[in-house]
């Protein structure tokens, strides 16, 4: 069994849960964190079915004290931290005229500042280990989509943060990657907690395009979503491949979709360019 230690955020369900199990199966000492330890039932059951051990700890990415306590606790108990997998995140559907700036701030708190917080706490340990920093972003971190202004802004922010950090971190021995899923069949859509009928009824001039967007998106999730196991396999690829690219899509669909915009699909051309700025 490898002595390498990976910490994953948001493992109560979905991609995070499957990534925790798959990382443990790949031989990593896996610290599966969640904001509410009472919600660890599905995680523990999946680990039991797979016959793998998990070190389950509390970490709320919006609570700086819990981030520090979890990461310092891992280093105290395991002696090292080789990989941070930023997976925790939450969707949001809305448009600026129909929501408050506070709504947008909340989306940024979880999806962007949460990643900033964990990354800051983990970096000294990742540097010491020559480790990996992996973040689950989204195809929405590359392409802005209707009624996803706040969510895509947050995921764009994460991608910009990580793309800027990557060449410097590489110089100091840390490999940075972002993983971009398209639709994945998790609790993600339900967890948005959108009462579609109510929101469309209150949407005013936005009702018709919102209805169109919701129908198209629910259709995509019903007909062509990946399983969370499939998305987790790409995260584990970023964890275990010898030289992972900066940018990984989790499916052919995600590759094609982001390819509408990206000339540098895996980020290698950008990193070669900006790495050269460092002398
Ligand atoms: P999910 O099943 O809803 O999982 C999200 C996880 O994040 C849950 O474990 C949730 O915990 C956790 N989380 C939320 N707020 C948190 C906080 N403040 N601190 C710590 N954990 C928190 O959805 P998922 O699809 O697996 O999402 C995982 C990642 O993939 C997210 O970053 C998401 O943006 C990204 N993604 C998903 C899709 C998709 O179609 N599913 C597509 C592209 C990108 P609780 O149970 O406590 O809420």
Q: Is 5 helix (H, G, I), strand (E, B) or coil?
A: strand
* C-beta of 177 in contact with ligand 1 (< 6 A): no
Q: Which residue carries 């001039």 as its tokens?
A: 205
* 144 burial level (CB within 10 Å; 0-12, 13-18, 19+): middle
Determine the structural domain holding residue 113 and report its residue range: 5-196+226-261
- Taking a C-beta distance cutoff of 8 angstroms, is the pair 12, 41 a contact? no
Q: Which residue carries 């060449």 as its tokens?
A: 167
Please report whether residue 203 resides in a domain.
no
Ligand 1 atom nearest to 225, measured from its CA: 40
* C-beta of 210 in contact with ligand 1 (< 6 A): no
* Digitized pLDDT (tens) for each residue of the chain, 279 residues in all: 448 999 999 999 999 999 999 999 999 999 999 999 999 999 999 999 999 999 999 999 999 999 999 999 999 999 999 999 999 999 999 999 999 999 999 999 999 999 999 999 999 999 999 999 999 999 999 999 999 999 999 999 999 999 999 999 999 999 999 999 999 999 999 999 999 999 999 999 999 999 999 999 999 999 999 999 999 999 999 999 999 999 999 999 999 999 999 999 999 999 999 999 999
Please report whether residue 221 resides in a domain.
no
- Taking a C-beta distance cutoff of 8 angstroms, is the pair 275, 170 a contact? yes
Nearest Cα to Cα of residue 234 among 135, 115, 119: 135
Mutate which of 11, 43, 89 to test ligand 1's pocket (most atoms within 8 Å of Cβ)?
89
* C-beta of 15 in contact with ligand 1 (< 6 A): yes
Please report whether residue 66 resides in a domain.
yes
Please report whether residue 115 resides in a domain.
yes
- CA of 9 from ligand 1 middle (Å) equals 9
Q: What is the CATH number of the domain that holds 31?
A: 3.40.50.720
Please report whether residue 148 resides in a domain.
yes
Please report whether residue 274 resides in a domain.
no
Specify the length of the chain in residues. Answer: 279
Number of domains in the chain: 1
Please report whether residue 219 resides in a domain.
no
Query: Nearest residue CA, atom 11 of ligand 1?
Result: 10
* Residue 206 known to be catalytic: no
Please report whether residue 113 resides in a domain.
yes
* 1 burial level (CB within 10 Å; 0-12, 13-18, 19+): exposed
pLDDT at residue 3 in the model: 84
């Amino acid at each position: 069994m490898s002595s390498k230690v990976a910490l994953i955020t948001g493992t109560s369900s979905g991609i995070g849960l499957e990534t925790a199990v798959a990382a443990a199966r790949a031989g990593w000492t896996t610290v599966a964190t969640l904001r509410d330890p009472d919600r660890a039932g599905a995680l523990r059951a999946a680990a039991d079915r797979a016959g793998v051990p998990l070190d389950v700890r509390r970490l709320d990415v919006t609570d700086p004290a819990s981030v520090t306590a979890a990461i310092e606790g891992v280093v105290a108990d395991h002696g090292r931290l080789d990989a941070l997998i930023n997976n925790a995140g939450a969707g949001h559907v809305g448009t600026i005229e129909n929501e408050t700036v506070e709504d947008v701030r909340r989306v940024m708190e979880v999806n962007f500042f949460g990643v900033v917080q964990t990354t800051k706490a983990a970096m000294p340990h990742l540097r010491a280990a020559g480790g990996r920093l992996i973040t689950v972003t989204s195809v929405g971190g590359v392409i802005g989509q209707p009624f996803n202004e706040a969510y895509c802004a947050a995921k764009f922010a994460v991608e910009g943060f990580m793309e800027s950090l990557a060449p410097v971190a590489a110089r100091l021995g840390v490999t940075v990657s972002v993983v971009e899923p398209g639709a994945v069949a998790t609790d993600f859509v339900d967890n948005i907690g959108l009462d579609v009928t109510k929101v469309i009824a209150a949407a005013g001039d936005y009702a018709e395009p919102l209805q169109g967007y919701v129908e198209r998106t629910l259709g995509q999730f019903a007909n062509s979503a990946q399983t969370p196991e499939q998305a987790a396999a790409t995260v584990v690829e970023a964890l275990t491949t010898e030289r992972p690219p900066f940018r990984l899509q989790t499916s052919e669909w995600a590759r094609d979709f982001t390819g509408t915009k990206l000339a540098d699909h895996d980020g290698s051309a950008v990193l070669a360019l900006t790495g050269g700025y460092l002398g």
